[in-house]
Structure 1
Amino acid sequence: MAENQRIHPVAVDVEARPTTPLVPNGSSVSEKGSPARRPPPIRRPIPVIHAKPPKSASCCCKCVCWTISLLLLLIIIVGAAAGILYLIFRPKLPSYSVDSLKISSLGLNSDMSLYAEFDVEITADNPNEKIGIYYEKGGRLSVWYADAKLCDGSLPEFYQGHRNKTQLHLALTGQTQYGSALMTALQEQQQTGLIPLDLKVDAPVAIKLGRLKLKKVRILGHCLLVVDNLSANNSISIKASNCSFGLEL
């Protein structure tokens, strides 16, 4: 049985290059026997990204901080200046009192409107020792009954010096619609002998501190009066008077 077996020769490729054996350290051996070194691997550096805040956001924050700081500084300066001026001048509001009230005319017109003409004498008091008051154009004094304005008139323009009292004589006139109902209410109120009236003051003034004239402000106020009658050309007695005033910048 061994005789029947045939041995086939293996074809050898003469042109095939012999493989290069490897030395134990992993490098290949050249044909001359010396090991051939492999080129070192290329190492690429990993870029480092530094996180930085956007420049626009940083600029906005700085602007806001500077603006707030300047506003706070301005408020402190204005407050300090106002405090110094207050300590130097000691400002006080002027006061007003109604000395007399006279009715020249009060009646109904042909169109049933109410016509009124009052003569009022008031005293303006400036209690300040170092502050003068300029009464500017546009001041008004008006007389009201309930929510109806009976008459009004203009305040004169004048300068009031330090610690000065000035008497003003004012002629007030007015015409009110639906005067029939208003006249009836006044006549009924007159029977009680106590008629409430409201004198309202609106005076634009300029304050003078030393030689400095400040910008215009407004003195607003009203005097609540109780009189005994509203008969024309009769002496009217003021039973009660309560005045209050404020300053509007």
Structure 2
Amino acid sequence: MAEPALPLVKPMNGGGGGVPAPPSIKPRPVYRPQPPSKAPRRRGRLCTCCLWITFVVSALILLAAIAGGIFYLLYRPHRPTFTVSTFRLSALNVTASNQLASRLDLSITARNPNRKLVFSYDPISISASSNGVAIGNVSVLGFVQGTKNNTVLKTTVTTSGQRLDSPTASDLKKSNVPIEIDMETKVIIKIGALKTKKIPIGVSCSAINAAVPKTKGKKAVPAPEFSPDASCDVKMKIKIWKWTV
């Protein structure tokens, strides 16, 4: 079998005949070594940092739990309790133009059940309402309550000239109405030379069924005083305990 003829290259001097052209040779690519990637090393450092952070946080949580358990075993802390001990609705008058005038006399007993904790209260805001309708508010002075101590707060809650809508005015003209008592304050808890920062406290006393004062002629006859002994729900809005010396 005949081989294919190679192309002829004409001589530069114009002479006859031709010389076969050499086959074309492609240049090989030059090998250049790449620098090692830094990604694995960075990932390793990041994982190590995350492990250390997790370890430190876990250790702090464990130490806080141990400290809390020791504190509870040593001091047995209990939140304060509040009770409405005496109650009298002296006036609850709704005029023909649906304006409210009321007077509520009550005493509230605050109790510190702890043997080693002292409570120091800021002024206490006391408000009274009936079915969501405010019928008065007052503020009483703060006080310091020692261990295993009962403190009685006597006060009067009043309102005058508050305008009501017709359905609300009709509800307050009934012979008996439910009265709710709410209190708000802040307290510092002391244990020897240690004390907390001010902790907000919310106190909500269950509805007390109160008799509306009767009127004889043009004179109102106050309802008699009674002792409902209504216990109150105490909520201490604690975020973080920070002790200072």
TM over 0.5: yes
Query: Are residues 1:120 and 2:106 paired?
Result: yes
Match of 1:221?
203
1:224 is displaced (CA, Å) by: 1.7
SS in 2 for 1:128: coil
Query: Are residues 1:130 and 2:116 paired?
Result: yes
1:104 is displaced (CA, Å) by: 4.2
Match of 1:141?
126
Higher relative contact order (CA 8 A, sep 6+): 2
How many Å separate the matches in 1 of 2:163 and 2:49? 60
CA RMSD in angstroms comes to 2.8
Tell me, which stretches of 5 or more residues in structure 1 are unaligned? 1-44
Which of the numbers 235, 239, 245 marks the counterpart of 2:234?
245
- Count of matched residue positions in the alignment of Structure 1 and Structure 2: 201
Matched to 1:100, the amino acid is T
How many Å separate the matches in 1 of 2:207 and 2:120? 27
Question: In the alignment, is the contact (CA less than 8 A) between 1:221 and 1:245 conserved in 2?
Answer: yes
How many Å separate the matches in 1 of 2:126 and 2:230? 16
How many Å separate the matches in 2 of 1:111 and 1:135? 41
SS in 2 for 1:215: coil
Matched-pair identity in %: 26
Query: Are residues 1:64 and 2:50 paired?
Result: yes
**TM-score (norm: length of structure 1):** 0.70
Question: In the alignment, is the contact (CA less than 8 A) between 1:195 and 1:229 conserved in 2?
Answer: yes
1:33-90 CA-to-partner distances (Å, cap 9, x unmatched) read: xxxxxxxxxxxx9979877743332222222222211111111111111111111110
Question: In the alignment, is the contact (CA less than 8 A) between 1:114 and 1:180 conserved in 2?
Answer: no
Which of the numbers 161, 175, 194 marks the counterpart of 1:212?
194
Q: How does 1:57-206 map to 2 (within 5 A)?
A: 57-108=43-94, 112-137=98-123, 139-174=124-159, 176-178=162-164, 180-188=166-174, 190=175, 194-206=176-188
**TM-score (norm: length of structure 2):** 0.71
Question: In the alignment, is the contact (CA less than 8 A) between 1:218 and 1:247 conserved in 2?
Answer: yes
1:166-211 CA-to-partner distances (Å, cap 9, x unmatched) read: 11112223354425533321222x1xxx432211122211111222
Higher CA-based Rg: 1
How many Å separate the matches in 1 of 2:61 and 2:141? 37
